Amino acid sequence: MKKFSYFAVILSLIFLLSSCANKKDVNVNPSDITSDIINTFSEDISMSELNSDRITKYYDIDMEKIESFSSYIEGSGGFADEVSVFKMKSEDDISAAKEAVESRIAQRKKDFDGYNSWELDKIEENCISVQGKYILFVISDNSQEAEKIFKDYLK
Amino acid sequence: MPNNNWGGANKKYKSNRPKFHLSIIFLLIIVIFLLCFILYMITSQNNGINSLTVLSSDTSVQDVSEEITAETTTTTVATTTVSSPVNVNPVPENSPKDFSYFNDCVFIGDSLTVGLSSYGIIPEKNVLANTGLNIDKINDAKIKTETGEIALLDELKAVNPKNVYIMLGSNGIAWLSNEHMTEKYGEFIDKIKAQHPDLTIYILSIPPVSVNKETSTEGSIQNTAIDSYNSELLKLADAKKINFVDINTALKGNDGKLPVESAGKDGMHFKKDTYTIMLNYILQHTVKE
């Protein structure tokens, strides 16, 4: 019985060590993810990239917590489509990004309240997904496909 | 011979005398004319040339209470101290400004105006617009800025531009009457004027829509309704003594509609290049600041 216990402990240690050894620090450029996601958007939608000068108008977020990001909004002003991928400096900063995204959703609901109700439905079906230090926010008719692309990049 | 020579010189002297008198008289006439003209100008200035009748393009008569500008007569430049531009509407074509002109401009409007900043054409701070904003909401409108949500008029005060361009009405034209919209529009203009007496205000006609929007099952808009509303906006601009720039005509195709390729899938919101057409037209149709 004692030998069996030693054996179980050793096996557990080996399993834990191997798990840690396999866990690599994922380093994906957010713009690679967003460009693939935008390809799933309708061709009739014109997307416009937000640079670091403009992003803070759209997201109430502390830029010091962001390591890198890529963000696109619909350009013409008439549609709600958008996609953002933020890579935060630490996983602890994900909560701040989530708050910014929730605030953005509330703003967009207000923008489209009583105007183009089908866009409001699209906003309601938004997707927020987290993988480690990365967070995806997307409003699109193809948000499920966008989430799959995001997860495939970061698995 | 000497007598002849002397006589010849004397004859020559005598023949010059009448010419000398004529010159004096001619000079006196010019001086008197100039004195009369100056007196007339001074009198005109004192009485105030306050009522200049200008015909608008739609042949409605506009009473413009402004002083004559330099374009009317170059002489008044020297004698008048104030020279405000006369608002002839729609604003006629002028020598084009360069793009830096927009640094001193603010654009106010709905989603069509939002596109100016969301495409990254005009800086965010110069675009005070909200998707879904309509005439009914404009007088209490708040907009999102980097520092949070703020009343539109407060943000206008903070930016303090030289020129403001307003494009409102595309939202609401399907369900609000022209009378109601121009009444609310007028109230908004009055608020801006009270807050910024020196601001140059432009109303932009609302743009046309493509055939896709006219035939849409999700809230169609007809170009005939847009044209009717725009003609009311022109009258409003005249009544408020502000400027009206007819971008609608600049954006229309030969069929009187927005070309399908100029708009997105809804037949209403612009593709990026369409804003270039609109902004170039604005740069060619400004008034003296």
Residues A26, A154: contact at Cβ < 8 Å?
A: yes
Task: Give the contacts of A152 (CB within 8 A, at least 6 positions apart).
Answer: none
Provide the residue ranges of all domains of chain B, joining segments of one domain with +: 2-79, 99-283
- Kindly provide the residue ranges of all beta strands, DSSP E only, lying in B29-78, ordered along the sequence: 52-55, 61-64
Question: Among the CATH numbers 3.40.1370.10, 3.40.50.1110, 3.55.50.30, 3.40.30.10, which is that of B99-283?
Answer: 3.40.50.1110
Q: Using CA coordinates, name the residue in chain B closest to A111.
A: B131
CA–CA distance, B51 with A80 (Å, rounded to integer): 50
Provide the residue ranges of all domains of chain A, joining segments of one domain with +: 24-154
Beta bridge partners of B107: B127, B165
Q: Using CA coordinates, name the residue in chain A closest to B129.
A: A77
CA–CA distance, B137 with B152 (Å, rounded to integer): 11
- Residue pLDDT, tens place only, B241-264: 999 999 999 999 999 999 999 999
Confidence of residue A32 (pLDDT cuts 50, 70, 90): very high
- Residue pLDDT, tens place only, B128-139: 999 989 999 999
- B168 at the A interface (CB within 8 A)? no
Between A131 and B69, the higher pLDDT residue: A131
Between B176 and B64, the higher pLDDT residue: B176
- The pLDDT assigned to A59 comes to 95
Does B129 sit within 8 Å of A77, measured CB to CB?
yes
Report yes or no for ipTM above 0.85.
Answer: no
CA-based R_g, chain A, Å: 20
Does B264 sit within 8 Å of A107, measured CB to CB?
no
Shortest alpha-carbon distance between residue A60 and chain B (Å): 8
- The pLDDT assigned to B219 comes to 87
Q: B residues 43-72 near A, CB within 8 Å?
A: none
Contact residues on chain A for B146, CB-CB shorter than 8 A: 56-57
Does B144 sit within 8 Å of A78, measured CB to CB?
no
- The pLDDT assigned to B72 comes to 32
CA–CA distance, B252 with B245 (Å, rounded to integer): 14
Helix (H/G/I), strand (E/B), else coil: B60: coil
